[in-house]
Amino acid sequence: VGGNWKMNGDKASITELCKVLTTGPLNADTEVVVGCPAPYLTLARSLLPASVDVAAQNCYKVAKGAFTGEISPAMLKDLNIGWVILGHSER
């Protein structure tokens, strides 16, 4: 099950949502992934249990370079973010 937070949240509200996901009853047979705004990826990853994955909401196709504002797959891997949402309808 995936939930995309879109461009919503701040440190306080994301912290609260992560608490709910940490303490709430989650079915162990259900994979849970949350799509988090880029500035809060490491915050969400640090607050959520390993059983809840964190997804970036976009990434660019190359590892590095002069692409201001883009996030590369290598950067996401470095942050231990194993998921990314691509092909947003609103982009």
Domains of the chain are: 2-84 (3.20.20.70)
Task: Supply the DSSP symbol for 63.
Answer: S
Token readout for 26 is: 């989650």
Contact assessment for residue 26 and residue 52, using Cβ atoms and an 8 Å cutoff: yes
Question: Which pLDDT band, with edges at 50, 70 and 90, does 20 fall under?
Answer: very high
Give the Cα separation of 54 and 80 in Å (integer).
9
**pTM (global) more than 0.95:** no
Give the model's pLDDT for residue 89: 82
Is the pLDDT at 88 greater than 90, yes or no? no
Give the Cα separation of 85 and 88 in Å (integer).
7
Token readout for 79 is: 């942050």
Is the pLDDT at 91 greater than 80, yes or no? no
Per the prediction, the chain carries an average pLDDT of 95
Burial of residue 1 (number of CB atoms within 10 Å: 0-12, 13-18, 19+)? exposed
Give the model's pLDDT for residue 31: 96
Which of 26-30, 34-38, 86-90 is predicted least confidently?
A: 86-90
Residue type, 4: N
Give the model's pLDDT for residue 24: 86
